[in-house]
Copies of this chain bind each other. A is one copy, B any other.
Amino acid sequence: MTALVAPAEPEISARQAEVLDAVLRQLVTDGNSLTMSAVARRASCSKETLYKWFGDRDGLLNATVKYQAARVHVAAVGPDPLDRSALTARLESFAINWLTVISSETSLALNRVAIGQAGADKSLGAIVLANGRFALGSRMKPVLEAGRKAELLAFEDAEEAFRTLFGLVARDVQIRLLLGDSPSLDPESIRAEASRAIGQFFALYGAQPGGGKAAP
């Protein structure tokens, strides 16, 4: 449904990247009340330049979301040794990365503005979704299928298995963070959360020695 193609997107200069970084900082500190004047002030540029480069306020937001999405790309999947411990390590690494991203102030601020606009203009939400949830799924599914091929996992639909993994990892953390709650998420507890989630995922989808499925 969502293919990741090499972006023929507008090339961004170094100066423009600085401006988009300023937008991100502004979003983090001042929330959704993002004014063009505040961005210009923080980026030490003129509003005229903002409008010349990004068209209007919406274009600036879109460019910022795409810019941040491009930065978040974690290391792609390498070749697959694929024994049980390697698979566990890779799954846990994904879980740790995901939890770290969704608890970062930058990601939270972007998700908040995208969700705030999701009623009227769905474009921001679609971009966030494509580069967050769906990009993660695209990267995870080959891993899951490799695990199945190695008879370490058992499932019928990789998408379904990934969605369950998603739920086990995120639980109520994302919605609580988005709503302003702050459950403790230091790197220590993130690692513990990831380990628990992967353990539970194996309990549900780990291949039985007999070859049966663990859950309906």
Interface set of A (CB-CB < 8 Å, partner B): 27, 30-33, 109, 111-120, 122, 125-126, 128-129, 133, 163-164, 166-172, 174-176, 178-181, 196, 199-200, 203-204, 214-216
A116 pairs with B126, CB closer than 8 A = no
State the main secondary structure of chain A at its contact with B.
Answer: helix
A32 pairs with B116, CB closer than 8 A = yes
A166 pairs with B172, CB closer than 8 A = yes
Partner of A133, one of B113, B176, B196, B203: B176
A30-B119, A31-B120 given; 4 more Cβ-contact pairs under 8 Å: A32-B116, A112-B116, A113-B116, A203-B214
Considering the complex, give the chain B residue whose CB is closest to the CB of A169: B167
Partner of A180, one of B126, B172, B175, B196: B126
**CB of A176 to closest CB in B, whole Å:** 7
